[in-house]
Amino acid sequence: MKILIIEDEKELSTGIADYLSSQDYTCDVAADFAEGIYKIEYNEYDCILLDISLPGGSGLKILEQLKEDKKTDGVLIISAKNSLDDKIRGLNLGADDYLPKPFHLSELNARIAAIIRRKKFDGNNLIEFHNLSIDTQNKTVNVNKNPVELTKKEYELLLYFISNKKRLISKDAIAEHLWGNDMSGNFDFIYTHIKNLRKKLLDAGGTDYIKSVYGMGYKFTNQ
């Protein structure tokens, strides 16, 4: 999977690239408008992370160029300008999602995974992790082919874990993912959800992949 990061803050783009590389993505970085235009012209990407304020021009212009060229690359706008106008214009121009800065890398990763799943819809909406399988089309989960009944939030939580497998996910990132920006900081809720999810997966004969990492959060791993 190839990702293009169009972002002028070098520290940010390398940080994103580091994290995404660990999730088996190949990352390409463009630091300004011209480089961004050049790279989208000559390459195909599964997903493009697009900052709006770029040296040399607006990221929205790059989006327009993509649509003009009839390219189908997924586009995720990452903008510090938490401006409604930009968000609406971006989505109207055909961006797939909008994530305001600052964001959790795990959240970014989950959004990219969702975009790629949607773009490559050709029947392959089954995510598998060892004995676990998730059908993102019907939102059903199976453990060793046994169906598991999950609540909406438990399902979202599991999908979030699988999208960020083997990486540490902070409690804050989980809270924000499940309930939005305003609910982060309330960690008791997460604990209950994780306890329930764990129990349901174990009851269905699965393995406990959810590991608590002291003081930090959780990791979804088979090790």
For another protein, which residue of 125, 170, 207, 221 counts as binding (CB under 8 A)? 170
| CA separation for the pair 46, 26 (Å, rounded) | 10
Q: Does 3 bind another protein (CB under 8 A)?
A: no
Q: Does 104 bind another protein (CB under 8 A)?
A: yes
| CA separation for the pair 148, 182 (Å, rounded) | 30
For another protein, which residue of 70, 138, 152, 223 counts as binding (CB under 8 A)? 152
Q: Does 57 bind another protein (CB under 8 A)?
A: no
Q: Which is nearer to another protein, 122 or 188 (CB)?
A: 188
For another protein, which residue of 42, 138, 145, 185 counts as binding (CB under 8 A)? 185
Q: Does 168 bind another protein (CB under 8 A)?
A: yes
Q: Does 222 bind another protein (CB under 8 A)?
A: no
Return the number of other C-beta atoms located less than 10 Å from residue 47's C-beta: 25
The amino acid at residue 27 is C
Q: Does 15 bind another protein (CB under 8 A)?
A: yes
Q: Does 18 bind another protein (CB under 8 A)?
A: yes
Q: Which stretch binds another protein (CB under 8 A): 9-17, 117-125, 129-137, 199-207?
A: 9-17
Least Å from the CB of residue 172 to another protein: 6
For residue 134, give both structure tokens.
């998730």
Q: Does 100 bind another protein (CB under 8 A)?
A: yes
Q: Which stretch binds another protein (CB under 8 A): 64-72, 127-135, 175-183, 197-205?
A: 175-183
| CA separation for the pair 83, 154 (Å, rounded) | 31
Strand order through the sheet with 140-143: 126-129, 132-135, 140-143, 146-148
For another protein, which residue of 68, 138, 145, 215 counts as binding (CB under 8 A)? 215
197's CB contacts (< 8 A; 6+ apart) are 150, 154, 157, 158, 210
The DSSP secondary structure of 152-187, one letter per residue, reads HHHHHHHHHHHHTTTSEEEHHHHHHHHH-GGGTT-H
Least Å from the CB of residue 219 to another protein: 9
The upper half-sphere exposure of residue 154, i.e. CA atoms within 13 Å in the direction of its Cβ, equals 16
Please answer whether residues 80 and 100 qualify as being in contact, where contact means their C-beta atoms are separated by less than 8 angstroms.
Answer: yes
Question: Given the rule CB under 8 A, which residues bind another protein?
Answer: 9, 11-12, 15-16, 18-19, 22, 53, 80-84, 100-106, 151-154, 167-168, 170, 172-173, 178-186, 188-189, 192-193, 214-217
